[in-house]
Structure 1
Amino acid sequence: MGELLGSIWWLIVSLGVLVTFHEFGHYWVARRCGVKVLRFSVGFGKPLWMRRGRDGTEYAIAAIPLGGYVKMLDEREGDVAPAEAAQAFNRQSVFRRIAIVAAGPIANLLLCVALLWAMFVVGRPDYAPVLGQVEGIAAEAGLERGDTVLAVGERATPTWSEVQMALLPAALDRVAVPVAIRDAAGGERTVDLPLDRLPAEFDERRAIEVIGLSPRHMEVPAVVGRVVPDSAAADVLMEGDRITAFDGARVDGWDDIGLLAQAVGERGQPAMIEVERQGERLALEILPRRMQDDTGTDYWALGIASARPALPEKDALLRHGPLEAVPAAVHEGLHQAGELLDMIGRAFTGRVAVENTVAGPVTIARAANAYADQGLAWYLSLLALLSLSLGILNLLPIPILDGGHLLYYLIELVKGSPVSDRVMAAGQYVGLALIAGLMGLAFYNDIVNNLVR
């Protein structure tokens, strides 16, 4: 399945699951409260499929799979037979209306925990949290290549993805954070990572790189893929050579070669480079030469290009047994909810770029396709995050969202009477404007992040 078709398919599947559970929450509680449900629709627009249940509810799948709705009997939306008046939504007590409206977001929050539980039970394959090249702030703090990150702050980091998710909030807030590590020799220590020294502005999507960290699994091995003609390496190195040492220094990865070449070039004297070639270990003499990059900047280079391999097999598994996964899923759900609320707060206060906080359908579709390609557990983790986001978004006190209706009902509880039709109408206009703005921002972000960049 191509990326485009795959993205469309997984977007439809994801929205279908999330919307169905959300609307089922409204439907289930409404029925328990004695409210008649006229239609349960997944999607908007013209129904593609519909049937009427024995309870009189129309169940439909509509043409536009970007939402859904539950239509209940309501005297404000049409005539209601006297015999059915007691089943109208508007006739219910304020507590029942609160329960019915809150049930949708709550269903998404419960679904989030259920999906996380399933993800833990299935097991999400990942990479071990072992550091590769370390530089910048991370190197100055004392982190080294080969260190295994055990925890960031109070959050355990059994995989590299956990390291990224734990470091990003601290980087955005620019606060120092303790990092527990185990070095290559097995010793454990804690390093204070001074993220308060990060630049005032940086690309949040490259936060880990800006900190100066890279994972071991992303390291490019020091294997020669191509030798540039008439370069320092011509007639010295060959394609397939694995460089093991240069100028007496051990070479662990491709990034080491450039740094050593600069030092040797500045010294101006040849150095020995050790390679493995077809099972033999060779020591060869080489002197870097001056070259220019695309910007015209001079640098010392050997004149070789790497042989970039595919990513290695994943060597870590985030997994719990069925019983152990229950508290783990609840804890992870609460943690993600807190991080999401913090991210919303950062966006409103300008501490994080809005283009990195509001995702549109294109971004969600591509993410769903990418996660699904990595396996069931990865897709479940994304679906859990989307369900959590949908639940929290709907609880925001914005008119036309569930949270806006809950706000009206809370006001009704305080003042003892419903909010006036005039206030509700004004709120609808405000809510529509806010949602239109949010959708516009989401589509703008899709264009900027997926088409322009």
Structure 2
Amino acid sequence: MDFLTAMGGTATGFFGAVIPFLFVLTVVVFVHEMGHFLVGRWCGVGVHAFSIGFGPELVGFNDRHGTRWKLCAIPLGGYVKFHGDANGASVPSPEAISRMTPQERATSFPTQPVAKRAAIVVAGPVANFILAILLFAGAIWLGGRMELPARVSAIDPNSAAAQAGFQPGDLVKSIDGEPVADFNAMYRIVTGSAGTPLNFVVERAGADVPIVATPAVYEESTKFGRHRIGRLGIRSPAASEAKLVTYGPVASLGLGVHETAFVVERTFSYLGKLVTGRESADQLSGPIGIARVSGEVAKVGGIGGLIGLIALLSVSIGLLNLFPVPLLDGGHLLFYAFEVVRGRPLSERAQEIGFRLGLALVLVLMIFAAWNDILNLGASWRAT
């Protein structure tokens, strides 16, 4: 009976993670590929296939333009295959292009002007950023935000805040020149700045006081895994001081842009620390980690939590695709930049080598992220 109960709990946990994960990933991938598709159509390029997932087709249909819309067996991505592409990564097919008629060349992706190709490529990541902005803005507009004053109620002894000179009653006005709206805004900046000196301006007895403080590095264990965060040792005001602040559609849209920009800035900050050795690569997650987080978010936050996760993942997918790695959207843009500078495309051999290197790099990154996910999952099981 214990064995069957354990197996039942494992199955429930598995499906409880997989279904939210597929929902989150499918929405993000669909919007990304729809960006490519719409701009491609607007530019007069023919589209052979719009696929969610890879591998064998499970279900699909043809639209009146001849595009095959399909759902495939491996739901870990998607692609739009344009006329003249050798595959879904928009690698050109020289043989197919050489056999094209003038009419076919007019609707082929590789024969379009650089500006059109670049617009089609960048449309995918842009669509992800737009989705994130709209989701963040919609959540703020419909539900408002609970805000606590960014005031120091108490300070932990021997903490980074105590050493820096914070005092109870200080009201934090800005960090590194950026205005601080509430305690949550300060918390997000501090937790994402472990080991990085921050320049605070606090209001104390009616005067502005500058303080430089470096959040201590702290490892935090949550349902979502282990994370290294920054900690000052500042206590927030009582929850009774929180108030619900509502925003109109225009203000909400501005805050949606701000939220998206914050995620982008934090991502680049992490990558910068990773390159300089101030951050560890074990924070990188792959599909297993995302599935685990999706399941936990679905249990804790329901559909609202999943919508927030979609916004975060959408920003991440948009940024990742803009990296100048051949095979990704950013790699295509890099090739187009060379084409503009040289006045002609890179040779087929050079592009082939670039795509192969890009594929190898992406595969290595996926394997590394999956290994991190497995280690984190094992640590979680041992902790329970």
Q: TM-score, normalised by structure 2?
A: 0.80
User: Contact 2:285/2:372 (CA < 8 Å) preserved in 1?
Assistant: yes
Task: Provide Cα deviations, 1:300-327, integer angstroms capped at 9, x if missing partner.
Answer: xxxxxxxxxxxx8995546422121122
Q: AA paired with 1:178?
A: F
Task: Provide Cα deviations, 1:400-432, integer angstroms capped at 9, x if missing partner.
Answer: 101111111110111111111111111112111
- 1:323 is paired with a residue whose SS is helix
- 2:248 is paired with a residue whose SS is coil
* Residue 430 (1) aligns with residue 319 (2): no
Which of 91, 94, 116 is the matching residue for 1:96? 116
Aligned equivalent of 2:186: 163
| C-alpha distance 151-43 of structure 1, shift in aligned 2 (>3 A) | same
Cα root mean square deviation, aligned: 3.1
Q: AA paired with 1:86?
A: A
Larger helix fraction of residues: 2
Structure 2 regions of 5+ residues with no counterpart?
1-8, 86-91, 221-226
User: Contact 2:197/2:213 (CA < 8 Å) preserved in 1?
Assistant: yes
Aligned equivalent of 1:390: 317
What is the CA–CA distance in structure 2 between the aligned matches of 1:9 and 1:145, rounded to whole Å?
A: 46
User: Contact 1:41/1:68 (CA < 8 Å) preserved in 2?
Assistant: yes
User: Contact 1:126/1:315 (CA < 8 Å) preserved in 2?
Assistant: yes
Task: Provide Cα deviations, 1:264-296, integer angstroms capped at 9, x if missing partner.
Answer: xxxxxxxxxxxxxxxxxxxxxxxxxxxxxxxxx
Matched pairs, number: 350
User: Contact 1:159/1:317 (CA < 8 Å) preserved in 2?
Assistant: no
Q: TM-score, normalised by structure 1?
A: 0.69
Deviates more, 1:333-342 or 1:390-399: 333-342
Describe how 1:388-427 pairs up with structure 2 within 5 A: 388-427=315-354
What is the CA–CA distance in structure 2 between the aligned matches of 1:416 and 1:9, rounded to whole Å?
A: 48
Aligned equivalent of 2:197: 175
Describe how 1:124-273 pairs up with structure 2 within 5 A: 128=148, 131=153, 134-135=156-157, 136-143=159-166, 151-158=174-181, 160-172=183-195, 174-178=196-200, 180=202, 190=209, 192-195=211-214, 198=216, 203=219, 205-209=227-231, 211-213=232-234, 215=236
Using the aligned pairs only, state the percent identity. Answer: 34
User: Contact 2:34/2:124 (CA < 8 Å) preserved in 1?
Assistant: yes
Q: CA deviation at 1:116?
A: 1.6
- 2:72 is paired with a residue whose SS is strand
What is the CA–CA distance in structure 2 between the aligned matches of 1:87 and 1:177, rounded to whole Å?
A: 55
Which of 267, 271, 289 is the matching residue for 1:363? 289
User: Contact 2:56/2:73 (CA < 8 Å) preserved in 1?
Assistant: yes
* Residue 332 (1) aligns with residue 259 (2): yes
Structure 1 regions of 5+ residues with no counterpart?
218-311
- 1:74 is paired with a residue whose SS is coil
| C-alpha distance 450-215 of structure 1, shift in aligned 2 (>3 A) | farther
Q: Which has the larger radius of gyration?
A: 1
| C-alpha distance 206-438 of structure 1, shift in aligned 2 (>3 A) | closer
User: Contact 2:199/2:211 (CA < 8 Å) preserved in 1?
Assistant: yes
Q: AA paired with 2:248?
A: G
